[in-house]
A and B are shown apart, each in its own frame.
Chain A
Amino acid sequence: GENVEQHPSTLSVQEGDSAVIKCTYSDSASNYFPWYKQELGKRPQLIIDIRSNVGEKKDQRIAVTLNKTAKHFSLHITETQPEDSAVYFCAASTSSSASKIIFGSGTRLSIRP
């Protein structure tokens, strides 16, 4: 079955700097890659997603890149702000997997003032 690895597990960056979180997946049939942000005690919230027919997607300060050949995808946050502090989860899914999403283990991002 699908396995999603996520690195790093913790990340601390200076406010205003960029943060990068990387994930790899095992199932070459995966074609949907969402990223969720979870603040302490709150629900996971989708921040951006990418499908396998594109290599990059950007939404304001957030961008995601996908390399299907290498089976890895990354989240990039630019000009980080204190409210970006949270746990970020990458995930992968295949259209044949009955909508099951497999999550990475998460990255705890801390923004230093």
Chain B
Amino acid sequence: DTGVSQDPRHKITKRGQNVTFRCDPISEHNRLYWYRQTLGQGPEFLTYFQNEAQLEKSRLLSDRFSAERPKGSFSTLEIQRTEQGDSAMYLCASSLARSARGTPQETQYFGPGTRLLVL
């Protein structure tokens, strides 16, 4: 599978611990997105990068969450001092933006997700 990959696929942690997830986008995709999905709901946007720049963050992204994309390729999402409410599927997606901002949306391709359970 040469699509978006995520690691780990599953993570169980105790409340208060820090966790870090990794996303590897499709090669040469310049945009990378993080979403959170809870049971029975659609994915909720968290943040996105264009190359290494983090251009938008959702209000859902509390100060315990931080995301990086240091070299414009893979990205990490860290959650500090995890809470039970953080339990969810964390999805990464990538896309290739061929035009400047303000032009029609490009297709986002999703990874398999990291399922987080906070005990």
Contacts and interface: CB of A to CB of B under 8 A. Distances in A.
B40 A34 contact: no
Interface of A: 4, 6, 31-32, 34, 36, 42-46, 49, 51, 89, 91, 93, 95-96, 98-106
B72 interface: no
Interface in B104-119: 104-113
A86 to B, nearest CB: 13
Interface residues of B, number: 29
B40 to A, nearest CB: 7
Contacts of A34: 105, 107-108
Nearest to A106: B42
B104 A31 contact: yes
Contact of A51 (B40, B97, B104, B109): B104
A67 to B, nearest CB: 19
B65 interface: no
Contacts of A91: 42
